[in-house]
Structures are given as structure tokens and as C-alpha cells.
Structure 1
Amino acid sequence: MQPKQRRLPSWIAIPVGALLLLWASTGCDDFKPTEQATPDVESSSETQTVEDMLGRSVEIPAEVERVATVNVDAFRMTLHLDAGEKLVGIPSDMFGSRFSEDKTIEARAFDGLENTPKIGGGQPGSEISLEKIVSVEPDVFLFWAFSRGDSAEAMANRADQIQQQLGIPVIAVNTLGRDREEEQIYAEIEQAYQLMGAVLDREERASSLVEDYFTEVEQIQERIAEHRKSAAAEQGKEAQELAAPRVYMAHRSNLFNNVAFYLPIEQLDADNVATARRGRDGEISAEQLLAWDPEYIFLHTPSQTSRVAASEIGEDSSLAQISAVQDGNIYRFKGTYMGWDLATGLIDLIHMGKILYPEAFDDIDTAQRGEQILNKFYGQEGLFEHLNEQSSLLENTSK
């Protein structure tokens, strides 16, 4: 249920003038804030200061009870931290759009979905409504810390601008940003959950989930290391002498739009054939794909709406000489979707690991383990079945 409406605290000023901000990749620099100073907040037992993921120091109430966000990452993490009752404004474009017609798992996991106002946003950098944000009277507003078309400095300036316009503390957060090194990404994940835990008074829950995530990753990597060591010994080799499985990841839009980086593939010690293009997702030619000759093709499939038809790949004679096509090794993965879900990232890790190293994962049932992970993060049963319906993870697998 949506929390009862209450009056804004006295330290929050209500802005005047036009409060509609069209936040798009073009035209956003034309937005002019109203002549209003950021509220003067004195440090006291009633407030705390946090540093967001853009390096901004933001003073917020010591007890945050009402949260609004246009950021799907922040929405997910709020649910992960069992603080859904604090949400009074949520992203608009999570489903019922070109990205996903059906409800996403995070939308299904939110009990207040039907009664909570949608205030814009969803895809990073998309349109938001300041008027709607103010109308739901939040204690804090959770904004994006990352958008592909903008620098961190530009995002910080925009967060400051919106905070000035709203008269409400604005906190920028994301699970993944521009970093492509594992240790930096891990630090960013930990920072995101620590920040959200501090804002929502869920520090213990945040620490527990992050620890569980890292433990699961470590256990999976240990499985692979033991498998590679054993396989190498049988061949009279060292583990490092074994070739890593060659993988190509296709974007949801079409086969020839490559995904140059995805954390679970890095964690699985696979050879992403597009590594030379790391950080350069984009179009490639059929000739390039043939030259790379991946052993496995993974199709980014966040929903039933956004996907490449696997059957068309097998029927394309120009691709017939690719090893993955010849061997029928064409699979799907959930991947990113308006940010990245730590829970489905773990499921992708197990799912892809079981495909690439079947002997190392022969005692793991993807559906069963996936259900356990989603239940741990979202506190609801039956979510894996819906995830599989949307992303077809078990398509062409033995589970």
C-alpha cells in the first residue's frame, strides 16, 4: 500500500514557476532553473550528510520515510533492501513500452505498483516531471549517476540543478557506470548499496546482500578454476594453457550490434571476441563475425519485446560457417535493462557458466537456483518463472 500523504517538512521549499523538465538527450541544456536558492539546512540530529555516486555531499533527513525515483536501478535496490513501503513515486517506463510490454520482475515484486504515481524516467536520460515529483512530497529524490551521453560532471551539475529546482535533496546512484575493470565495478556495487542502505536505514540488509553476491561469485569462479585445472591435467597441460571459450554477445536490437562488455562474462573467464571493441558497443559486419568465429553466441534478451529471433540466425546461410551456428550454441541472457539488477546478474552468471562449463555446473539447476536468488533479493516467490518467460534463459538448454 502507498503510505499516507503528509505535509512536507519545513526545511523543504516548494519551487515556483514552471516545474516540468523534459530530460532528453537533446534540448536539455536549454532548461532554465527558477530563481530559487537551495534550502539552507543546518546540521542537526534531524539530518545526516551522505556522499552520492557523483561525489556530491547531500544533506538528507536522518529518517527518510518517503522516496521518489525515476531511476530503475534505485527502484530495484529499494526493493532489494526491503524498503518498498517508502516509495511514493516510481519510474514510468519500466514496462508497457517498446522496452517491455509486460511487467518486469521488479515491477511484479512491488506491492504498491498500481497505487504509486509514476513520475517519469526509466531509461537513463529520459523525460522526468518535476511537477509530479513535488506532488508526491518525497523526503529525497533518487536520480541517475550514469547516462551514456553525459559525463559525470554534467550529471552532477544536472543533479544540483534539479535539487535547486525541487527544493528536495537529490541523490545520484547507479549499480554500473563507465568502469570496465572488475575491481572498480565491485567497488561501485558496494558503494551503491552502502549509499542506499544509509538513505533507507537498511545498512545491515545492504551489507548482507553485497556479501552474498561476492560469495556467490567467488564460489562460481572456484568451480571454474577447479574444472579447468582438472581438464588441463587430463591433457598434460597447465590450466592457463587451456583456451577460454570464445563468446559473442549480441545486443537486443540485432545480431550485428555487439555487446563489448558484460561483467558476468568477465567473471567467467570467457574470451569475449569483441574485447578489442570494449567500450565500443555498436554495429559490426557479418564478415567480422565470421572472422571472430565465436563458439557461443549469447543474445541480449531483457524482454519478449526486445530480442533477436534465434531461428533466423540458424537459417541465415551467410552465418553457417560460424562455430556457434554449426554446433547450435545460440543462447540468451537477461543482461542490462535500464541499469543492471544484481540479482539477475547472478542468474546470468550461473546460466552462462553452466553453458560454457557444463561439467563444472552439473549439480546446479538454473531454475531452482535462480528462484532462490530472486526470492532472497525481492522477497517473493515465483519470479524466476516470469524472468524465464521474458528472457527465455532456458531456451536451448538442459537447465
Structure 2
Amino acid sequence: MSKHRSRRRFIQMAVAAGGITTFAGCNENTPESSDPTETTESSDSTGTTTESTSTQTIEDLVGRTVEVPSSVESVIGVGSGALRLLTYIGAEDDVVGVEEIETTNEKRPFRPYIHANPSLSELPSVGSRNSPDAELLLQQNPDVIFWAWADEGDANTLQSQTGIPVVVIQPGDINEEHRSLFFDSLDLLGTITGRSDAASELRTYTTDVINDLDERTRDIPEEERLSTYVGYLGRGNHGLTRTQPLYTPFTFVNANNVASTLTGPLTETKGAARIDIDPEEIIDQDPSYLFVDMGTVAYDELSEPQYESVTAIENGDVYTLFPVREYSINFGTTLANAYYVGSVLYPDRFSDVDPVARADRIYETFVGAPVYEQLAETYGQGFSRLEG
């Protein structure tokens, strides 16, 4: 029986039983349910008819065993980062539905993978952010649903509701602590969609870029590493005091991040921890260079009298960076930001690097198109000293 006929029957049975309800974060550990393994007939060289399986068994990133088709032609990615990683391995043409957040990109044109693949925003919605709708998913009838950051119970429930294999991935981060999750998720997506080579090539490219950044700066003596700070992390109204003790673009170029020893309430969801610090700590640390995340709405604090003695602000050494977080981690942006940070702090070490050209090369590798100028237009400026 074809997947289309079996799924249509599944929908008819569900409707007869009272309809399919919207799935919105149920935590019940519902037993995993999937269609029986389908088989196809073929003839070997002797003319004997043999039966071969058309599914493969995989283990997802929360340890679930899932039967998925051996040949996958249509997919949907839900949860923060799932669609992004599908574009990273070149599977954007297989996507048949997206979360509502992706269909409103004219109002929020922030994510590089959507800039590179705008047609994704024209696909049908399958539910609100992080809350996939079982009925809408069934209407699009994907071979596999990839769900980023789901727990085991939610994944089992959605699979039971739809009869479609649900595979959990954990996109992680590009920092050293969470990079293995990023690579493991790429590998799993590559295996299931038949793009293992693309996943492997991106792993190699990412590793090579990180090594290049490190090799340019790792021999700089500690006392010669310029004091640096990044603020306004997080899209919206987060202020100058919102930062990261381990801001990955700084780490990659071995910068002296003055926030690395600061304390405060940490936010550690899905990537490197963020922190809100006291303004006095910025003043006391007195960074020589200050970077701001362009995902915020205003930078009024930089003009406050309390900060006028901070060396970076006094000298006008305040520079802009693209957000590394926008519905989870923008992996390519992290690398692009790192090259720009390196070129500002240590121009002699990056004299062969045009940060804009390098950013476009990175974006083309990750999302399939050079989208630096589109991002710069979105945020009002690109890599530069902060204007105004």
C-alpha cells in the first residue's frame, strides 16, 4: 500500500473516531506508533522474485527507535532550528510545510536560511511555533517529521496522532560544549534524507573554519589580548547588560571577553548561557572594544552619562554584529561574526580577510546563497562602527 493511501485511511479512521486534535506540547509518554514496514518486490539476476524492505530503523537524538522510509522525498521540520538544519544539508526542496513563524517572514525577515530560500515562507503552515498541529501535518503528508528539541513523550504522541515517523534532533550550538549535538543532528538528517555527503562536507567545512580562526589568534599573549564586551544579546528589548560569558565569536578568535568572569542569573536554554549583569560591572571592567547585537530595537544606553568613561564608548570603538540567535542558533552567522571581530581586534592577523566577502562565502556554504547584503538591509547596517 502506498504511503498516500495508508495515510488517507489513517485520516478517515481518525475523523470517524472523533477527529484529530491539535497537538500543543502534550507530555504523555504515549507508546510509539508507526505504520507497518512496507515491502516491495523485485527480481534478482536469476529471475527469482525477492522481497526487500522499504524502511530503515534509526535512533534519534533522544534515544527513540524510529522506522523511517529508506527513500525520503518530503519532510517537515518543526521546533527551533529544524528547518534551518534542513537547508544546511540542501533539503529545502523536500520541505512541504513550515511553522507559522516562517510564513510571516515579511514582518520578521531575520533568518539567513529564509533570506536564501524565500519560497519556504510560501509553504502551508503546520502550526504555531513549537506547537505542531497534527491535522495540518497530515494534510501535507510528509514522509518524515523532524522535531527539534522535543522530548520523548511529545514525539511519541505526535507520531501516534499522525501515523508519520517523528524524528527528534537537537541542533545544539557551534561552541565546543554543544557542537557534537549540531554535528550529530546534521548526520542524522543526512542519513534519513539521503544527503550524508552534504552533512559530512558541512562538518568538515565548519571544523576547518574554526581551526583557521584559532590558528590566526591562539599565539597572542594573554596580556596583549584586547579587552572586549558584547551587549544587547537577544532580539527585542534586551539592553547593554545582556551578554554571554562565553560568546562564541569571541572564543573562536581568543578574545579577552571581560564578561567571562562576571556573575548573575544565567539563561541556558538551547545553547550558550546568557546573563544579565549590573551596569557597574561594565564600567569596572572598562572594555577597550564593545560590540552590539543588531537584533535589538535601540541602543540608547550607550549615550547614558554613567557609561561615558568606558574606553570603548569614549573612543567610538563600538561595532555591530548580526544576531547569533534567531529562533535558535544562526551557525553561519557565528562564524561570520568571528571573522569580523578578529578583523577589528587584530587587523594584522586578518589582513587577508574581507569580512563581507567571507561572510557571503560562509552563508553560501551553510544556506545556499550569499545573503550578507540582505541581512545588512534588514538590520539597517552591516559590519561597521555603530551609526548614530
> Per-residue CA shift, 1:294-318, capped at 9, x if unaligned?
23322222xxxx41434x2442111
TM-score for both structures, normalised by structure 1: 0.79
- Is 2:289 aligned against 1:285? no
> Per-residue CA shift, 1:100-157, capped at 9, x if unaligned?
53363322322533541121344xxx333222111100111111226xxxxxxxx222
Give the secondary structure class of the aligned counterpart of 2:146: strand
Provide the residue aligned with 2:111 in structure 1.
104
C-alpha RMSD of matched pairs (Å): 3.1
Separation of aligned partners in 2, 1:367 and 1:60: 41
Q: CA deviation at 1:319?
A: 0.9
Report if aligned partners of 1:351, 1:366 keep a CA contact under 8 Å in 2: yes
Q: Which residue of 56, 64, 68 maps to 1:48?
A: 56
Provide the residue aligned with 2:233 in structure 1.
251
Provide the residue aligned with 2:131 in structure 1.
127
Report if aligned partners of 2:360, 2:369 keep a CA contact under 8 Å in 1: no
Q: What are the within-5 Å matches in structure 2 for residues 153-172 of structure 1? A: 155-172=151-168
Change (3 A) 1:396 1:66: same
Give the secondary structure class of the aligned counterpart of 1:206: helix
Which amino acid is the alignment partner of residue 116 of structure 1? L
Separation of aligned partners in 1, 2:156 and 2:361: 40
Separation of aligned partners in 2, 1:357 and 1:374: 23
Provide the residue aligned with 2:4 in structure 1.
7
Asked which structure has the greater CA Rg, the reply is 2
- Is 2:39 aligned against 1:39? no
Q: Which residue of 285, 308, 314 maps to 1:326?
A: 314
Give the secondary structure class of the aligned counterpart of 1:138: coil
Report if aligned partners of 2:172, 2:179 keep a CA contact under 8 Å in 1: no
Give the secondary structure class of the aligned counterpart of 2:131: coil
Change (3 A) 1:111 1:390: closer
Provide the residue aligned with 2:95 in structure 1.
87
Report if aligned partners of 1:95, 1:104 keep a CA contact under 8 Å in 2: no
- Is 2:328 aligned against 1:339? yes
Report if aligned partners of 2:143, 2:165 keep a CA contact under 8 Å in 1: yes
Change (3 A) 1:251 1:341: closer
Q: What are the within-5 Å matches in structure 2 for residues 226-375 of structure 1? A: 228=220, 239-243=221-225, 245-252=227-234, 253-276=238-261, 277=263, 279=268, 281-301=274-294, 306-310=295-299, 312-333=300-321, 334-375=323-364
Report if aligned partners of 1:248, 1:294 keep a CA contact under 8 Å in 2: no
Provide the residue aligned with 2:376 in structure 1.
388
Report if aligned partners of 2:112, 2:363 keep a CA contact under 8 Å in 1: no
Separation of aligned partners in 1, 2:313 and 2:223: 26
TM-score for both structures, normalised by structure 2: 0.81
Provide the residue aligned with 1:74 in structure 2.
82
Give the secondary structure class of the aligned counterpart of 1:68: strand
Separation of aligned partners in 2, 1:96 and 1:181: 30
Separation of aligned partners in 1, 2:368 and 2:190: 17
Separation of aligned partners in 1, 2:64 and 2:350: 43
Change (3 A) 1:72 1:37: closer
Matched residues, number: 355
Unaligned 5+ runs, structure 2:
39-51
Separation of aligned partners in 2, 1:342 and 1:9: 38
Unaligned 5+ runs, structure 1:
1-5, 147-154, 229-238
Report if aligned partners of 2:148, 2:170 keep a CA contact under 8 Å in 1: yes
Give the secondary structure class of the aligned counterpart of 1:48: strand
Q: Percent identity?
A: 23
Report if aligned partners of 2:242, 2:277 keep a CA contact under 8 Å in 1: yes
Which amino acid is the alignment partner of residue 259 of structure 1? Q
Give the secondary structure class of the aligned counterpart of 2:187: helix
Separation of aligned partners in 2, 1:377 and 1:68: 19
Which amino acid is the alignment partner of residue 328 of structure 1? G
Separation of aligned partners in 2, 1:388 and 1:111: 17
Of stretches 252-261 and 133-142 in structure 1, the one that deviates more from structure 2 is: 252-261
Separation of aligned partners in 2, 1:263 and 1:128: 31
